[in-house]
Amino acid sequence: MLAGLVSSESNYLGGTTVLYDGNPTLLNDDPAEGQLFYSGYILLSAGLFLVATSAIATALRPKFNGVIESWSPISFATVAWSGLLLVSAIAAANAFLPSLLWTFGLRESVSGYTMGWSVLFHNMHYLPLMATVILWYVLVENVTGVKSIFGQNFSKIVFAMYLIFVPPTSLYHLFLEPDLAETVRVVGSLLSLFIAVPTILVFLIIVASLECHARAQGARGLFGWMKSLPWDNPAMAAVGMATVNMAFGGVFSMVLIQEKLAVLLSDTFFVPGYFHFFTVGAVSLTFIATLIYIIPALTEHRCWRPNILSRLPYVLTTGLVLFGAGGIFAGYHGVPRRIFDLSYHVDDPVEHIDAPFVWGTLMGVVGAGSLLMTIVLAIYAYALVRMLVPVSGEIGVSLENLRVVLWGGSAIERQRAWIGPLSVCALVATMYFFTALSFEILESVPILGEVGGH
């Protein structure tokens, strides 16, 4: 994988024109320019294949040896995730091997590249998402001791559902293809709604299990039980905010993958606006929370200043809300993405374009959010390095002294658990509201287009 990374990145030193998606049509003038790039991607996919194979072999071994009869939900989910990684490695080979052979003159030019890339791109969305949700499951059990009240098999069914729903939902990546049949667009829009089902179910399992256990410990009130969770633990705070950010991202992703809206919004700043809720707010935050546990466990160092680390997720989420709100509304107003000149100013002999005033205001909000996020991530990076490297006079708390609650194994009897279902109802209502709002706003696109000079 390292060789693949070096090979693909070193290609850029030669000034090649191919982009991260490896579209070979950009190399028509000189195919040999892409040799290192595609070699790198193929090496990377081979590395991913081997990593996933070793993970599956590790999980199978105790079964073969008769140590266990059945996997825990986390082991099962890890094997399922590794299976998806294996398929993604195959998808990468399917997308890039023909181009690699073409750059070495071993075959004719490549056709059907977009389809191969779309399948790989689809898997690349759900690998980190599924990994994040598995880690929520692990971290929550670590800081509360709570296992699913619905039983192990139900959790396994939910994790298997990721694999059931991933392939048929890939159609929405093709919405920008002009010759896609209308029936397929409609079916693709409907299928795309199912992709959120497993994530919502895992959220329900975790929240309902926590609420029942908290109430069994004497917690009261519709929201009051949440106060008994160990929010001073950096992992708990991070997982809590990661679920909130995942919900924000989920709402707007459902807006974007409707086929009528996808065409209008896909090339605007709407996409970075909503996607950072997933990438930074859910995935990165969860992985950082996991590292906060893993690094001290491996190094036997202390957890650096948990009182600071447990507050960072809230600051990060504030930054994300600024970035996301600014970016999404900028997208509605037609601010493009994939552009280097943030003045959006065009001044050449043929045409003169000044961006609408509101673009600058909204992108200023995006900038403020970015600044907050950058500061938080820099502090996290510093903390992780401090936990990794031995420093004299260590500051912090040993891992076993981080605040946790021990609710595991306690009898919970019959309890109410309303927050999970209510959250899902609120999520669906918000999706509906923003989808309707998006249609309303985008009806004015031609007028905004004239104002913007596009």
Chain residues in the site for other proteins (CB under 8 A): 56, 60, 63-67, 69-71, 76, 79-80, 83, 86-87, 90-91, 94, 112, 115-116, 118-120, 153, 156-157, 160, 163-164, 167-168, 170-171, 174, 177, 179-181, 183-184
CB of 367 to other proteins, least distance (A): 39
Q: Which is nearer to other proteins, 62 or 408 (CB)?
A: 62
For CA atoms 295, 238, 240, 271, the dihedral sign is: negative
Q: Which is nearer to other proteins, 86 or 265 (CB)?
A: 86
Q: Which is nearer to other proteins, 9 or 177 (CB)?
A: 177
Q: Which is nearer to other proteins, 70 or 398 (CB)?
A: 70
Q: Which is nearer to other proteins, 56 or 363 (CB)?
A: 56
CB of 188 to other proteins, least distance (A): 9
Residue 296 · residue 142 · CB < 8 Å: no
Does residue 397 sit in helix, strand or coil? Answer: strand
CB of 153 to other proteins, least distance (A): 6
Residue by residue, DSSP assigns 270-339 as HHHHHHHIIIIIIIIHHHHHHHHHHHHHHH-PPBS-HHHHTTHHHHHHHHHHHHHHHHHHHHHTT-BSS-
CB of 278 to other proteins, least distance (A): 23
User: Residue 180: CA atoms inside 13 Å, Cβ hemisphere, count?
Assistant: 20
Q: Which is nearer to other proteins, 86 or 405 (CB)?
A: 86
CB of 4 to other proteins, least distance (A): 19
Q: Which is nearer to other proteins, 166 or 402 (CB)?
A: 166
CB of 133 to other proteins, least distance (A): 17
CA angle 291, 292, 294 (to 5 degrees): 55
Q: Which is nearer to other proteins, 167 or 453 (CB)?
A: 167
CB of 66 to other proteins, least distance (A): 2
* CA distances (Å), origin 152, targets 68, 71, 79, 301, 392: 15, 9, 15, 33, 44
DSSP 352: E
CB of 156 to other proteins, least distance (A): 6
Closest CA to 225 of 209, 239, 237, 241: 209
* Class of residue 442 by CB neighbours under 10 A (exposed 0-12, middle 13-18, buried 19+): middle
Closest CA to 173 of 192, 157, 201, 160: 192
Residue by residue, DSSP assigns 4-64 as HHHHHHHHHHTT----TT--GGGGSS-GGGGHHHHHHHHHHHHHHHHHHHHHHHHHHHHHH
